[in-house]
A and B are shown apart, each in its own frame.
Chain A
């Protein structure tokens, strides 16, 4: 059905988003292209481009992304079964905890694993204490194992969200019908459950692969200097070697693959065919009955707690401990409970990398996040309302979602750098650019949250309002906006959290006197000394708590919105 009432003026909504995207997306992208292929020598013919490094980076990017996706599915699919089919005590808490990492900034994840398996991590301290060792026995950091563990931690929540939800909503009657027709439990899974879940599994797999493919912070912080993906290589070529041509080539290779993956991902998620019935009175999930089921639920819950909860807990604990060099035995370092790490954040240390007290990073991040939130909500709302005039076809929205989703943060950062660093003077504007680039990164998520809400507004509400004397051009403000208040708030919190944790693009644009929290954490983690380590932990803990609160607020809002819709 076409929104005839609206049709006339709604294209006006497009003007601001289009101008914005032209200026802050297409222009920077074109600029990379120009720098790489346009001026002077062509990048393809110059010796500035090292094809061996490029080839290696592409190879490793695919290799680690494939492995990460495989292991993520290996844990994520049984976890989806756990959440989709069984009810047990503490399920809700475990579900929230397992989906929490999705919103965690990469630096927090890195800091969490550092606190757990790093040289000063809990596991090493425990083992050193138990066996009286003088050096840490576990060397997991700076290895591919560390990268894989972090990626599994990060992306299992995506599988649980997508596949677990689908599994929960899969009509049990369909499986029961197969059992009644003589299908054994294995045949029910093979012929019915798996084929019906397949669209969800593949769409989760591609999404996970895309995130692993463009992973930047995790590789940089967990993999060390040995492992470089395309994304990390772009950063190194730009920031260390100032080789913009090489960075440009890599950006386009990256852009090609990510656009392709995003396109496939959007195609798959559209053709979803999962029967959705409301879950009535526990028909969807049941208590584990047989011994096998009980063992499965227990083991899976333990695995999830160890994998997903322990890095977070380790980080929070570490942030509250202080290191002291004078130990009675003289061999082992000793730790005690204190708030020194946190108070250290307020001191403007002379040896610090920054020119300001670290706590300023919290203030900066909050300001950037607030700015980014306002911009992306405005753009998102305009785009969604503008689209509702175009006969409700999602073609344009899909394209707008795909562009920033398919462009890696590092590529965007590079684009901004090439456009806006033409003169030394222009660097002054970088702090303004950060909320803008964050807004572009969070725009796909904002649109995805608002769009279904706007589309579900019944057309006859508009007709009713018009007959009651509401002018056409005010419909969206008087009728639509109040109706989508809930999703708007959710989208705003999402945008805020994404900006808070954004690391890739920010690392290109942030200036030392305006650090953000992720940058501060990254730099402290790379500095020697227990004090710096403690500060990294404290800052990461603050970021973790803020993101955690944001996430739980979103969960609450969604439950509330669901309640309203069902009435």
Chain B
């Protein structure tokens, strides 16, 4: 339905979007995930028509709509911070898009009520939007974007300014609502948990390009490069060299590491980056022959269902692991690393 082809955009003389291309299919919910300032909102504004790309095409149903002004595109955009009209009440905010389509009054009444019903806020229809709580504003903005029945819905950091608990609740609600709609949705966020729970397809945006795309589960477990891995918070990184390819064994600063999943891709002597997942550590060492390490506990923080533990292996390599038990600071511990929980990337230099 929507195709973006080779979109280029500069910001303050720096390239922001750099030949970016992707497509969104019918009824598909696509999440664009990337760090702050990477151009996610700009991308949405380009799709919306609020900004012009320096180069490239925005295609909708096989038609180039790059020159179509935003009010003729019939796309919905829910803004970061919501951008509710402060001089109109809740009802008039939701009705705005319908009024612009010159829909009869009775029909407007009905559709606004439906939209407010959908977000469970019918009872505040005549309240001023400046009196609403953050969660209420968010729902009204959502209802306003949906009321005119847009052909495509875009959401720009919709949970941006809400607190954690409310966020989790609204994410669940939104997931159900988006699933019920039969229009494509583009959801922009910098929060990976949000993206994982909402997305059918995940796009990772960095340095003006889509660096990886796929289902959330696949992308999380198979980051395409060390940057994506570290963006997901996987920071246990080592440099090394392949010394055996079946099974793959990498020589690193902390010793030889055996990796199970990637054996064929690397040849003997190749330089690689190794990323160890935080859940890779097992404390039992009996009956184990490979990946046995000894380290010193630097710190251990209680995180609810596990302990986030800093371990120093060798002289200066520090790693962070999720361990189910409390370990005392300064203790020497011996553990194994699961060869299935290690990622390996070829060095690009």
Residues of A within 8 A of B (CB): 171, 173-174, 176-184, 187, 191-192, 195-196, 273, 275, 281
Contact = CB atoms under 8 A, between A and B. Distances in A.
B100 A187 contact: yes
A179 B50 contact: yes
B12 interface: yes
Contacts of B87: 195-196, 273
Contacts of A176: 45, 48, 50, 70, 77, 79, 83
B76 to A, nearest CB: 7
B97 interface: yes
Given A187-B100, A281-B12, A179 B83 contact: no
A19 to B, nearest CB: 43
Q: Which residue among A171, A179, A191 has the maximum number of chain B CB atoms within 10 Å of its CB?
A: A179
Contact of A196 (B86, B97, B101, B130): B86
Nearest to B45: A176
Given A176-B45, A177-B85, A180-B50, 18 more contacts: A171-B83, A173-B79, A176-B70, A176-B79, A177-B144, A178-B85, A178-B96, A179-B70, A180-B70, A180-B71, A181-B76, A181-B96, A181-B100, A181-B148, A182-B72, A182-B100, A184-B71, A196-B87
B282 interface: no
Interface in B1-54: 12, 45, 48, 50
B86 A180 contact: no
25 contacts: A171-B83, A173-B83, A174-B86, A176-B45, A176-B79, A177-B79, A178-B96, A179-B70, A180-B71, A180-B77, A180-B145, A181-B71, A181-B76, A181-B100, A181-B144, A182-B97, A182-B100, A182-B101, A184-B71, A187-B71, A187-B100, A191-B96, A273-B87, A275-B86, A281-B12
Interface in B80-98: 80-81, 83-87, 96-97
B74 interface: yes
B231 interface: no
Nearest to A289: B52
Contacts of A171: 83
A559 B102 CA distance: 46
B75 interface: yes
B85 A173 contact: no
Contacts of A192: 85
Contacts of B75: 180
Contacts of B81: 173
Contacts of B97: 181-182
Contacts of A273: 86-87, 130
Contacts of B45: 176
Contacts, number: 67
Contacts of A195: 87
A192 B100 CA distance: 12
A87 to B, nearest CB: 13
B12 A182 contact: no
Contacts of B79: 173, 176-177
A182 B83 contact: no
A183 B71 contact: yes
A182 B86 contact: no
B12 A179 contact: no
A173 B12 CA distance: 20
Contacts of B74: 182
A183 B100 contact: yes
The residue among B69, B74, B96, B130 with the most chain A CB atoms within 10 A of its own CB is: B96
Q: Which of B50, B84, B130 has the most CB of A within 10 A?
A: B50
Nearest to A273: B86
Nearest to A195: B87
Interface string B223-254: 00000000000000000000000000000000
A280 to B, nearest CB: 11
Contacts of B100: 181-183, 187
Contacts of A275: 86
A182 B85 contact: no
Contacts of B48: 176, 180
B261 to A, nearest CB: 44
Contacts of A191: 96
Contacts of B144: 177, 181
A281 B42 CA distance: 13
A275 B83 CA distance: 10
Nearest to A192: B85
A177 B71 CA distance: 10
Contact of A182 (B50, B84, B130, B148): B148
A192 B79 CA distance: 16
B331 to A, nearest CB: 43
A167 to B, nearest CB: 15
B134 to A, nearest CB: 15
A454 B81 CA distance: 30
A170 to B, nearest CB: 10
Nearest to A281: B12
**Residue of B71, B72, B145 with highest tally of chain A CB at under 10 A:** B71
A119 to B, nearest CB: 51
B143 to A, nearest CB: 12
Contacts of B148: 181-182
Given A192-B85, A273-B86, A273-B87, A177 B101 contact: no
B83 A174 contact: yes
